[in-house]
């Protein structure tokens, strides 16, 4: 599988990353999914301390222990579980980040994290303090690089201006083109990579199409609009290939994107996603069709 450089780092990530939140808590099944990913050439594994109250990090660390020096482990911080485990609160403070990283390292069974990401963030956060935490962890050798997971343009701009982040993780798909106008060009200009999630838009951009469609639609698409657009796109772009291939290739066609992260609850799903990433690139004509029939959405919220 092809790899792309992650920002200005020396990390080269596979064009497909495994979103580990979906692997479940059954150890045997989870490890089988991760081993299949390795067989398919995936080297980028994305988890978070939030997932399954840390159990996800434990599974990921155990599955990757023997190949630790050959893979890139990305995890996230900022969501702090309440003592009674009934939910979590947001804590981007330097003190918390520097304490939480120790717990993640222990659960992952490693002495360094390749990519440590802030798991959200708002413009009201103590951003300078948060950046200082990441910079110190990098200087201490506990993390190699850092990034953020955010869809808030104002927050992203602050980190671009003030920090040395190498990546931003964000939702992006044919139905969610919000990053295209004000975020992707900015990140490309500054040599910061995008890691995308949600490329198949909750299954709408797969061959299942409208099977799981909500009556409320998706983002700023009404259900009626989806019923009109999706079959049309499938007919024009995916008559001879799975629709999900087109969806993943749409993400990878943007020069700011380094890797597209997809979840998988079975080895077969991993293989299908890997095949999609290896499939034929979209032509300029196909990209033009997509942009003609989908909305150039912009961020109205999340400011």
Residues 112-141: b if buried by 16+ CB within 10 A, e if exposed: bbbbbbbbbbeeebebeebbebbeebeeee
CA atoms within 13 A on the CB side of 42: 33
Instruction: Look up residue 293 and give its two tokens.
Output: 């029939």
Q: What angle do CA 19, 61, 102 make, to 5 degrees?
A: 105
In the set 44, 51, 218, 221, the catalytic residue is 51
Whether 112 is catalytic: no
168/184 Cα distance (integer angstroms): 10
Helices and strands per DSSP (H, E), number in the chain = 11, 12
178/61 Cα distance (integer angstroms): 34
Could you list the active site residues? 51
């Amino acid at each position: 599988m092809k790899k792309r450089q992650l920002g200005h780092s020396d990390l080269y990530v596979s064009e497909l990353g495994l979103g580990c939140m979906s692997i479940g808590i059954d150890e045997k099944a989870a490890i089988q999914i991760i081993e299949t990913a390795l067989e398919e050439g995936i080297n980028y594994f994305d988890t978070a301390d939030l997932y399954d109250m840390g159990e996800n990090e434990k599974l990921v660390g155990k599955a990757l222990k023997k190949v630790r020096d050959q893979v890139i482990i990305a995890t996230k911080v900022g969501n702090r579980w309440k003592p009674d485990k009934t939910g979590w609160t947001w804590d981007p403070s330097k003190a918390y980040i520097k304490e939480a990283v120790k717990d993640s390292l222990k659960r992952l069974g490693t002495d360094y994290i390749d990519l440590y990401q802030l798991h959200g963030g708002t413009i009201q956060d103590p951003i300078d303090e948060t950046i200082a935490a990441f910079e110190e962890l990098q200087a201490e050798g506990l993390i190699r690089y850092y990034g953020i997971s955010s869809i808030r343009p104002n927050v992203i701009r602050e980190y671009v201006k003030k920090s040395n982040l190498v990546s931003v993780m964000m939702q992006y798909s044919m139905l969610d083109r919000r990053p295209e106008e004000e975020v992707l060009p900015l990140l490309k200009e500054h040599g910061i990579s995008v890691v995308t999630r949600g490329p198949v838009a909750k299954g709408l951009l797969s061959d299942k199409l409208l099977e799981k469609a909500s009556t409320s639609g998706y983002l700023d698409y009404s259900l009626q609009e989806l019923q009109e657009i999706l079959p049309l796109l499938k007919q024009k772009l995916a008559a001879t290939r799975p629709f999900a291939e087109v969806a993943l290739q749409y993400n990878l066609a943007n020069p700011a994107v380094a890797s597209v992260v997809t979840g998988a609850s079975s080895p077969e799903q991993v293989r299908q996603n890997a095949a999609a990433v290896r499939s034929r690139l979209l032509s300029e004509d196909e990209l033009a069709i997509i942009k003609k029939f989908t909305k150039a959405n912009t961020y109205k919220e999340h400011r």
